[in-house]
Amino acid sequence: GEDNPIPLCQGDGEETLFVFHASDGDISAWLPLASALNRRVFGLQAKSPQRLATLDQMIDEYVGCIRRQQPHGPYVLAGWSYGAFLAAGAAQRLYAKGEQVRMVLIDPVCRQDFCCENRAALLRLLAEGQTPLALPEHFDQQTPDSQLADFISLAKTAGMVSQNLTLQAAETWLDNIAHLLRLLTEHTPGESVPVPCL
């Protein structure tokens, strides 16, 4: 958490926007929006997520990071997809501390949509994402190593991952995503709070 929040844009606006990562743990998807806004934008990225046992621990850590950057509100929090749960959880905690909070939740997801019983299911879920990938017809009959190699090859061609991504780095990337998804599916969201939400 020491690297968070990560500055994405230094604008002239008075308010600071804090954005939360999606299910891949990365905040780069926020860069186009951050650069278009005339305000300071900081991102909260999942660094070594496997050290955290619950989504509540992650949210608590992120709230600490936010308060290190900005000790008091008003706070503006934004979450896209998976990040909507993180933003809502952070808003609950900040509101409970008497802080003024506003939220922007973009395309919040159904937690159960992220249940993956194995690596093949995770790869199929990722293949249906923002950058659709056409997995081979015989994908389910392949060995796990062949499934991963085919997925990474398709993902590189589609620009979903870096051309330099090694199979070992892909394993770590997928393990982190699987852990983040497990944290979400096991999470019980708290009560909603009466804060402005877009």
User: For 39-96, how does the pLDDT look when each residue is reduced to its tens digit (9 = 90+)?
Assistant: 899 999 998 888 889 999 999 999 999 999 999 989 999 999 889 999 999 999 999 9
1 pLDDT higher than 60: no
How confident is the model at residue 18, as a pLDDT?
98
Which tokens sit at 176? Answer: 């982190």
pLDDT at 131: 81
Q: Domains in the chain, start-ordered, CATH in brackets?
A: 6-111 (3.40.50.1820), 113-183 (no CATH)
Contact 42, 17 (CB under 8 A): yes
Beta strands in the chain (DSSP E): 6-9, 16-20, 40-44, 75-80, 101-106
The distance between the two most distant Cα atoms of the chain, rounded to a whole number of Å, is 56
Q: Which residue in this structure is represented by tokens 């093949």?
A: 120
Mean pLDDT of 162-172: 89
Tell me which DSSP letter residue 118 carries: S
Residues 6+ apart with CB under 8 A from 37: 9, 11, 13, 17
- Which residues, in sequence order, are bridge partners of residue 41? 9, 17
The pTM assigned to this predicted structure is: 0.84
Q: Residue 69 CB: number of other CB atoms within 10 A?
A: 15
Statement: residue 108 has pLDDT above 80? no
Which one-letter amino acid corresponds to residue 82?
A: Y
> Is residue 128 classed as helix, strand or coil in its secondary structure?
coil
Which SS3 state, helix, strand or coil, does residue 163 take?
coil
Task: Quote the pLDDT of residue 196.
Answer: 67
Q: What is the pLDDT of residue 162?
A: 87
pLDDT-based confidence at residue 117 (cuts at 50, 70, 90): confident
> What dihedral do alpha carbons 128, 129, 132, 135 form, nearest 10°?
-40
Question: Who has greater pLDDT, 147 or 198?
Answer: 147
pLDDT of residue 193: 76
As a three-state string, the secondary structure of 20-33 is ECCCCCCCHHHHHH
d(CA 158, CA 163): 10
- Is residue 111 very low, low, confident or very high in pLDDT (cuts 50, 70, 90)? low
